[in-house]
Amino acid sequence: MLGFQEESFNELRDEVQALAQAHWDEVEAALHGARVYELDATRYATLERLNMLVAITARRDDGRLAGYAAFTTLPCPHRPGVTLAVLDGLYLAPEARRGLAALNLLRHAEGCLAARGVGLIQYSSPASRPCDALYRRLGARHTETVWHKTISPKEAR
């Protein structure tokens, strides 16, 4: 059984690193290459100090961290007066992916975000690991497709 709660990144920073590495290895390495992944703890701590980071955790009955959903919040640049939450990371350890765990994690996150005044959530997933069915089940709708291109400073004009 999993429990879901909002937690401070500063309290999670040491504990979350192992899951963040597993997340990288399983999801991101195929897109960006295998490497030792290190969270930018300073940046996350800064976002938290600015009240722009919301971290929701999934914990096992024994208290061990089993997953997370992290969101960055900011005023929506396209909808005045609306606060936007952008999914920064979503991961559940393989043994925690039973039943409705991911759905319940994100439903809990949505409640926490709503309590903070968020009016719009932007969900995303890597093309190699689409979460379309999960997001539809939450009531989200497909509104855009995002493409990334890596460039170097030498390409600046």
Domains of the chain with CATH codes:
2-155 (3.40.630.30)
Tens-place pLDDT, residues 25-45: 998 888 888 999 988 999 999
Is 72:84 a contact under the CB 8 Å cutoff? no
pLDDT band at 126 (very low <50, low <70, confident <90, very high): confident
> Tokens at residue 103, please?
């759905």
Q: What is the CA radius of gyration of the chain?
A: 16
Model pLDDT, residue 156: 67
DSSP, collapsed to helix, strand or coil, labels residue 148 as coil
DSSP structural state of residue 51: T
46 Ramachandran zone, left/alpha/beta (phi>0; psi -120 to 50): alpha
Model pLDDT, residue 43: 96
Tens-place pLDDT, residues 100-118: 999 999 999 999 999 999 9
Q: What's the first-to-final CA gap in the chain, in angstroms?
A: 54
Average pLDDT over residues 130-134: 95
Of 85, 10, 7, the C-alpha closest to 41 is 10
Average pLDDT over residues 67-75: 98
Based on the number of CB atoms within 10 Å of its own CB, is 109 exposed (0-12), middle (13-18) or buried (19 or more)? Answer: buried
Average pLDDT, the chain: 94
Please check the confidence at residue 66 and state whether its pLDDT lies above 90.
yes
- Dihedral angle sign, alpha carbons of residues 4, 17, 11, 85: negative
Please check the confidence at residue 155 and state whether its pLDDT lies above 80.
no
Model pLDDT, residue 26: 92
